Chain A
Amino acid sequence: MAETHDNQGAGAPGGFAPPPVFFERMQRLQTAVACGTPDRVPLSLVMDLFAANIMGVSYPDFVSSVDVAGATMLGAMEKLGDVDSIQFPTYAPDVLGMLWLAPMKVPGRDLPEHSQWQMDEQVRIQREDYDKILEMGWSAWFGQYVGMYLGAAAAAGQALMEAGPRWTMEYMKKGYVIFSPLTVDHPFEHIAGGRTVKEFTLDLFQIPDKVQAVLDVIMAEKREQTRHFLRAVGQPGLGYWVGSWRTAPEFLSPRLWNRFVWPYMKELVEIVAEEGGTPVLHYDANWDREIERLKDLPARRCVLELDGKTDIFRAKKILAGHMCILGDVHPAMLTLGTVADVKAYCDRLLDEVGPDGFIMAMGCAIPPDAKFENVKAMVDSVHR
């Protein structure tokens, strides 16, 4: 199974000329990624159910059709004003099952209509599965696992691969850049999701050699699949999430992190960069401890995307000139804060993290219940 199975299809087929504003925005983003100073700080958003809320679309309709999702998100972009980019053009939360090897519960199907989608995390990978992976290889084992648990996730992945390029083109027609529509997943995230964090953590202490052997088997296949995938997509500069959720340093001691997380993370980032992509380090949770380590990644090629838990101001001091930073208006501020709170925080971001090598954004994703005026304040902040 390819690791690049998450959000959306890649490119926009040719055959039309995007409006001039598209190129302005693209230039702005590329300058920021290269740690330069654009004409103004660019914006890049991640949103799903927030778009449904502000466009008056029901959650069940949004999550069950990639076309409804695409149209809704595009409508939200227009409603928000002058936004340079969105990270992916449409969405289907079921696809997250392919990352964390756990089915999703979605509104209207598994949850009440106005609920946020959530992961159904249970112990589905047993310790015996490690032996099976070592014996069968990752792809063969994963194919069986998908058959057992991830039918909806696989279908969502297919739908997104089909709809992604189509919707990318629709955004381009209106001048929006699709910034990072694809993902390259860390082997640890797969196993930690299917095994649950608690059980997987115990495995790291109790059967470390076997866990490492499994991660190595997965990585051996990912190494090749990732290169082939990027070559097939063939769009230099396109962003690929190399994300971190359960692999955050906040959760693991250095001894474990140095063995089970960083070598794989570093290699995946390097592969994406070598193949011409832009690694987008979508790092949730607190990365303070390991920010220095990011200086080992290719200079002026990656984007560090923070969610409000890492000290972004300190990160800037350490990574200035080496890595573009994207973020990080905290979800709780967008939900509970005031316009004045958001404005003050964005001003600080612009002053201390910008204007060079910085992309203004929410932390992680705009929460469904964010206040429109707060998100608008974040969007407008770059025009001060």
Chain B
Amino acid sequence: MTTSPLAQAVGDLEEDKAIVLVADKLAKGETALDILEELQAGMNIVGTRFEEGEYFLSELIYSADIFKKAGLPLQEELKNSVQSSYGTLVLGTVKNDIHDFGKDIVATVMSSNGIKVIDLGVNVEHQAFVDAIKESGATLVGMSCLLTTVFDDMKDAIAALKAAGLRDQVTVLIGGGPVDQATADYVGADYYCKTAQDGVIAAKKVLGVN
């Protein structure tokens, strides 16, 4: 399969080129959905290079910004399209933790990989996760923290999903500085994601996206 010049530009972190190519494609009458697919193919290149150790978090951040900027002219048309995302992720930093850096990175990287993100922010009440899942029908939940002192809040938030009868409907991904597999076992999460890209891989696996 050949890579389109637009996907390649995103993968190579060529910001100006990607923006120009999107404008050209729109001018030629290509649909926003088709262009979006190429941008996402570019993000796949970034993801592969990250996994291969060529790219790092810095490149994930920059590529997500390129994706966002290049995709800006598509937004109006995409609003009307039926299917522009693979699935929905409800995301937040758990109660009693106000750190947003890791959570924000996950939000941008997930979005640029075709996953709709409902970002609940920081210090998120357990019930807010429940409400957002009920409202959106999301099948993915991402919880982040930077403090060991909120592991119990993470555990309680997952317990709240269970109490609301939603636990079987959602896959819970967790991450953050002090989090490890033992933490995931302790809080009852489904996936421990060491990096934002791990989160993308897990989310795509759950959603059945190749």
Residues of A that sit less than 8 Å from B by CB: 105, 111-112, 115-116, 118-121, 196-198, 201-202, 204-206, 249-253, 256, 284-285, 330-337, 367-370
Q: With A121-B100, A369-B148 as given contacts, are A336 and B62 in contact (CB-CB < 8 Å)?
A: no
Does the CB pair B149–A369 fall under 8 Å? Answer: yes
- Pair B182/A198 contact, Cβ less than 8 Å: no
Q: Which residues of B contact A337 (CB under 8 A)?
A: 182
Interface residues of B (CB under 8 A from A): 13, 15, 54-59, 61-62, 65, 96-101, 104-105, 108, 146-149, 151, 177-180, 182-183, 186
Contacts A118-B147, A251-B58, A252-B57; A336 near B101 (Cβ below 8 A): no
Q: Quick one: given A105-B98, A251-B58, are A336 and B186 in contact (CB under 8 Å)? A: yes
Q: Nearest-CB distance from B128 to chain A (Å)?
A: 17
- Cβ–Cβ < 8 Å partners of B146 in chain A: 118
**7 pairs of A and B residues whose beta carbons are closest in the complex:** A367-B148, A335-B148, A201-B61, A251-B57, A253-B56, A252-B58, A205-B62
Give bound CA distance, A112 to B149, whole Å.
13
Beyond known contacts A121-B101, A336-B183: 10 more, CB 8 A cutoff: A198-B104, A249-B56, A253-B55, A330-B178, A330-B180, A331-B178, A332-B178, A336-B151, A336-B182, A367-B178
Question: Which chain B residues lie closer than 8 Å to A285 at the CB level?
Answer: 177
Contact between chains at B183 and A253 (CB < 8 Å): no
Which chain A residue shows the least CB distance to B66? Answer: A205
Complex partner residue of A202 from B61, B99, B100, B177, CB under 8 angstroms: B61
Provide the bound-state CA to CA distance between A336 and B182, in Å.
8
B148 and A121 contact, CB distance less than 8 A: no
Q: Are B101's CB and A196's CB within 8 A?
A: yes
Q: What residues of chain A lie closer than 8 Å to B65, measured between beta carbons? A: 202
Residues of B within 8 A of A205 (CB): 13, 15, 58, 62
Cα-based distance from A256 to B56 in the complex (angstroms) = 10
- For B149, give its contact among A116, A121, A253 (CB under 8 Å): A116
Question: Closest A-chain residue to B96, C-beta based?
Answer: A115
Identity of the chain B residue whose Cβ is nearest the Cβ of A367 in the assembled complex: B148
CB distance B178 to A251 under 8 Å? no
Minimum CB–CB distance from B126 to chain A (whole Å) comes to 16
B201 to chain A, nearest CB (A): 17
A369 and B153 CA atoms in complex are apart in Å by 13
* Bound Cα distance from A116 to B152, whole angstroms: 14
18 pairs, A vs B, C-beta closer than 8 Å: A116-B149, A118-B98, A119-B99, A121-B101, A198-B61, A198-B104, A201-B57, A206-B15, A253-B56, A253-B59, A256-B58, A284-B177, A332-B182, A334-B148, A335-B148, A367-B149, A367-B178, A369-B148
Residue of B nearest to A254 (CB): B56
Residues of B within 8 A of A370 (CB): 148
Contacts of B108 in A (CB 8 A): 198
